[in-house]
Structure formats: C-alpha cells, structure tokens
Copies of this chain bind each other. A is one copy, B any other.
Amino acid sequence: MQHWFIDRQAIALPTWREAMPAAQVLARARAGSVVGAGILWFRLRSGEAASEVLPAAGPAADQHFVVLSDEPDEDTVLQCLTAGAAGCCNSHAAPEVLQQVALVVANGGLWVGQSLLRRVMGGTARIIEQRQQARNDDWSALLSEREAEVARLVASASSNKEIARQLSISERTVKAHLTSVFEKLGLRDRLQLSLRINGLPR
C-alpha cells in the first residue's frame, strides 16, 4: 500500500516518516497531478477547513483519504468525514497509531479518535435515552388534567399571572397546581419542568 503525505509545503513530520518510510511527500499544489492509488494523508493546519484541503471529487476507488489535523475536535472530524475522508487523527499522533489508522482505513474501515468516539457514542446514548424518556410522555400520565394544562403553559414560558388569566382561575390556584406538579415529577422549579416537557436540552 502506497502512502502519500500531502501538505501545503511538502513537509513531513518525523513521526510520519517513521510510520511509513516509503511514503511520498507532496505539496498540495502538485498533488492533483501526481498522486496515484493508496492512502492519501492530508495535513489540516490550524484554521484550515477540511473542505479547502480535501479534493472536492473525493477519493478514487483505489484511494482512501485520511486527515491529519493540528487541532482535531468533534466538528473537524465530522467535516472530514463529510468531505470524504475515512479518518481523522492528530497530526502528532505516534507512529504506531498512524500505522493502525492505515490498517483500518486500508480495509475499508473508518477511523475516529477514541476520545471523540467515546464522546459521540456517549452523546448518542444520552440522546436515545432522552428520546425514550420523551416518548414515554410519562410526565402527563402522572398528572391530573388541570395540572398538565398548567404545566404545558409553564413550559411555554408563561408567568403564573398569565396562566391564571388564561385559565380564569386565581394565581394562587396556579401555584397550587404547580406545587403538586413539582412534587409528582420530582422537580424543583418551572425551568426544570420546561426542560422535562420540551424534551431535554438536546
């Protein structure tokens, strides 16, 4: 498997050379006309966007793109993947890691750093949980008709006074319903109620 390191200035880090001694190093300007089959490692310097660096056409059938990012964060990695890369890791990763990335990518896999992966998977897990919780809609099940009505209004940022006017009841009654709602759902205040009803943050 041939490796191509493609950077603005045709400079390869020592770790890259150590990982793939037989690799070719190219400046971006020349890369288009020279590069053949194999793994193309694109260096993404600070402030650069993946879309500027990766060829818009995407990888050929016999090529794989990998991004070596100076500042790999969640957004960067996603941009890289969207732009056709099969992986994204830190520019200064150890040679062993680079080799591992190469192995995975060469076999048609995707590579994202484990910290990112953990975060992403964790996030997904949280999202799924929340979605299930939201779907359960259990909040309204626990409440009486009137309580749920008040709760809904609170969740849309109405004040007690407004709710009272709207339902033609006293402000005191609104408070009574709310106290009951908080107690039943184990919440502290109207803001928590709002999050519970509107489906948590994100």
Residues of A whose CB lies within 8 Å of any CB of B are: 74-75, 78, 81-82, 96-97, 100, 103-104, 107-110, 112, 114, 117-118, 120-121, 123-125, 127-128, 131, 154-157, 159, 188-192, 194-195, 198-199, 201-202
Contacts of A190 in B (CB 8 A): 191
Q: Write the nearest CB–CB distance from A138 to chain B, whole angstroms.
A: 18
Taking CB atoms, residues of chain B closer than 8 Å to A159 are 189
User: A152 to chain B: closest CB distance in Å?
Assistant: 9
Query: Once the chains bind, are A104 and B100 in contact (CB under 8 Å)?
Result: yes
How long is the Cα–Cα vector from A201 to B193 in the complex, in angstroms? Answer: 12
Question: How many Å lie between the Cα of A176 and that of B192 in the bound state?
Answer: 22
Q: Which B residues are in CB contact (< 8 Å) with A114?
A: 108-110
- Residues of B contacting A100 in the complex (Cβ-Cβ under 8 angstroms): 103-104, 107, 109
Copies of this chain, tallied across the complex: 2
- Please tell me if the beta carbons of B104 and A104 are within 8 angstroms of each other in the complex: yes
State the CA gap A81–B118 with chains docked (Å): 9
Task: State whether B195 touches A157 (Cβ < 8 A).
Answer: yes
Q: List 15 A-B contacts (CB under 8 A).
A: A74-B128, A78-B125, A81-B121, A81-B125, A96-B107, A108-B114, A110-B117, A110-B118, A117-B117, A124-B124, A127-B127, A127-B202, A156-B201, A157-B192, A159-B189
Q: A202 near B121 (CB under 8 angstroms)? A: no
CB A136 to nearest CB in B, in angstroms, measures 13
Are B155 and A201 in contact, CB atoms less than 8 angstroms apart? yes
Cα-based distance from A108 to B113 in the complex (angstroms): 11
Measured in the bound complex, the distance between the Cα atoms of B198 and A121 in whole Å is 21
Given A109-B100, A125-B82, A127-B127, are A202 and B198 neighbors across the interface (CB < 8 Å)?
A: yes
Residues of chain B with a CB closer than 8 A to A103's CB: 100, 103
How many angstroms from the CA of A191 to the CA of B117 in the assembled complex? Answer: 33
